[in-house]
Amino acid sequence: MYLQLRSIILWSHNSHFAPRVVPFEPGMVNVVMGGSRTGKSAVIPIMDYCLGASTCAIPKKVIRTACSWFGVVVETKDGQKLFARKNPGESEATGEMFVLEGEKIVIPHSITESNSTAISVKRKLDELCALSHLDFAGGDVVNALDYRPSFRDLMAFVFQPQNVVANRDVLFYRTETQVHREKLSRNILPYVLNAVSPEMLAAQHEVEHLNRELRRKQRDLERARAASSRWEAEMAGQLARARELGLTEQDTSSNLTQEDMLKLLRTVAQKTVEDFRADGSTITKAVEELVGLEAVEAKLAEELAELKTRQGELSRLREGAGGFRDALLLQRDRLSIAEWLTTQPTPQDGCPLCGGSSAPEREAIEGLRKNLTEVEATAGQLTELPAAVDREVQHLRRNIDNLVEKLAAVRRQKRTLGQTSKEARERQFQSLGVAHFLGQLGQALKLYDEVSEDGDLAGDIAVLKKKIATFEAQVNRAEIERRKEAAINRLSTYISQFMPQLDNDHPDDIARLVIDDLTLRITGVEGDSFLWNIGSGSNWLSYHLSAMLALQCFFLDQPYSSVPGLLVFDQPSQVYFPEKLIRQRNAPQETPAWTNDEDTHAVRIAFTLLGKIVEARKGALQIIVLDHAPETVWGHLSHVTGNVNWRTGDKLVPADWPGAED
């Protein structure tokens, strides 16, 4: 990702003072040179805070006391962006931010109020990085380690503050806390090393979703099979009940196979209540009369439903016609002016308003009169429509009332017949029983079909398993490990190229990134060692520089990487000149004597390597070094520039700002 620093900006509490702007050049090694207590080590906290850090690590003394806002201008593929954030005072942080975007940013003289929030800025940075919106848990996040990758996670590959740049125990920024360490090792490093791609995350989410659906379908199938098994064991009883209700003549005492019973039950399930009959010896005149009444009742109920549907349609037609007629009447009233114009006394062929002669005006008036005539005719027709509809509605209402009376009479006859005839009562009861039995039988057969090998549920489960297998192939764990190993080998190759160009005791040893422990394993003739159990600050510094440069080269080799092409090292020379730095703290305005000794040479070759890599990357990488080392150490090196010099009494915060003297 192309994101490089153009400037750091500080705004004073007093708006009379112009903002402090610290410039940087893209595609270069930018050296911020200065003594102690000049503000060098505040550069990383300011950048981090303005790029959405959850807490503010900017020193509270002079810098926070003198400044009201902090800002950075970054260069991206979409142009320049200013991200400014309000001084949090004594709080840990504030969400108030000010954002400007454009081809080239004009830094405002002062900021009076925010126009954005830290959350919005982080979201914007995530979009600039084109980070996946999917989490690492397949949509089932249970802890912060599995949250989606964010721009904030990528700062581990950008910043090397003073307490990290030569640390034997910590290789990456902000990994001193367990949560950041675990997320970086478990998820972020495999992601940025392309061992886990956004496509894999999407496939993983799909696998989790499909697995949840599969488990649900399997539970449904298990429950359905249990219910179907119970029903299957009761098939003979179901056939006996069907015979008892007169729905089949099959002798259930015969030795039928399960397939035969199932076939008979399917035949029974296709019947309706109308197919219900009792034995001929039990049919009485009362039962025959009841059957006839049930047929009449069903026919009357059907006719009644049709009439009510027709009544509803006519009511809606009447309401629509009335609304349309009102609209036509309104239009008629507006067009009636044409009638008035034609009745006014005017000269022959003249305009009825001004008396002038104009053919277009006469034609326009004639057109209005014609429209008026048409509207009046249509409105007249619609006037008759509601009356016709009302007549039809009344006719339907009378028919409905008649049918309701007939239906009520039939039902009274059925009740009377049921009260006077035991057989009729039993017939009514059996009819309800038949309907209930047929409904249950149909549902049971449907369930039986669903749980069969070629049923719907089994088919759905087979389809889900096939889909899961397809997506799991995209989330192949062995493939992820293979890609991770390939990336680590590539990093080792880069480290092996860089280490001989730096000052260390192990230039030819093989160093490999250990992702699980976030450290380096160094393999030499004496065996394996880790970063924490090799000695000398120069070795630790060399491995930090080589590892960070190797990672950036790996990222830049990819067709696209979300990691910004930006590195910031704070005081890498501290391992060589601790005594000189102590003296400088006691006399910050003096420039220590950097003699042409081995230590000075070691620092210079480090700057030489940084410049060579930046030059080879043709503007895609920017490196910022915050250091005490004067220009005599790093000067006249290719692609190394020192636009910022705080050795002449200048500092990050101008001395004349209120609060700067504290």
Block mean pLDDT (10 aa), the chain, length 662: 95 93 96 89 95 92 91 95 95 94 94 94 92 64 66 94 93 86 86 78 69 77 63 60 64 62 67 53 54 76 82 69 58 60 58 59 66 61 58 79 81 66 52 63 61 63 77 74 92 96 92 94 90 90 96 94 95 77 47 66 94 96 94 91 85 87 62
pLDDT for 73 equals 97
Q: Give the rounded distance of the alpha carbon of 266 from its chain centre.
A: 50
Instruction: For 78-119, give the DSSP string.
Output: TEEEEEEEE--TTSS---EEEEEEESS----S---S-SEEHH
- Torsion sign (Cα): 135, 5, 26, 636: negative
Q: What is the pTM of this model?
A: 0.64
pLDDT for 596 equals 59
pLDDT for 34 equals 87
- CB-CB contact of 147 with 136 (8 Å): yes
What residues contact 395, with CB distance under 8 A and at least 6 apart? none
Residue with structure tokens 């880790």? 530
The CATH number of 285-420, from 1.10.287.510, 1.10.3720.10, 2.40.50.140, 3.50.50.60, is 1.10.287.510
What is the C-alpha to C-alpha distance for residues 534 and 529, in angstroms, rounded to an integer?
A: 7
The beta-strand segments (E) located in 579-631 are 622-627
User: Helix or strand or coil: residue 58?
Assistant: coil
Buried/exposed 127-156: b ≥16 CB within 10 Å, e otherwise? ebbebbebbbbbeeeeeebbebbbbbbbbb
Residue 488 has phi, psi (to 5 degrees) of -65, -40
Beta strand pairing call for 67-76 and 79-86: antiparallel
Buried/exposed 89-123: b ≥16 CB within 10 Å, e otherwise? eeeebbbbbbbbeeeebebbeebeebebbbeebbe
What residues contact 184, with CB distance under 8 A and at least 6 apart? 153, 156, 172, 175, 518
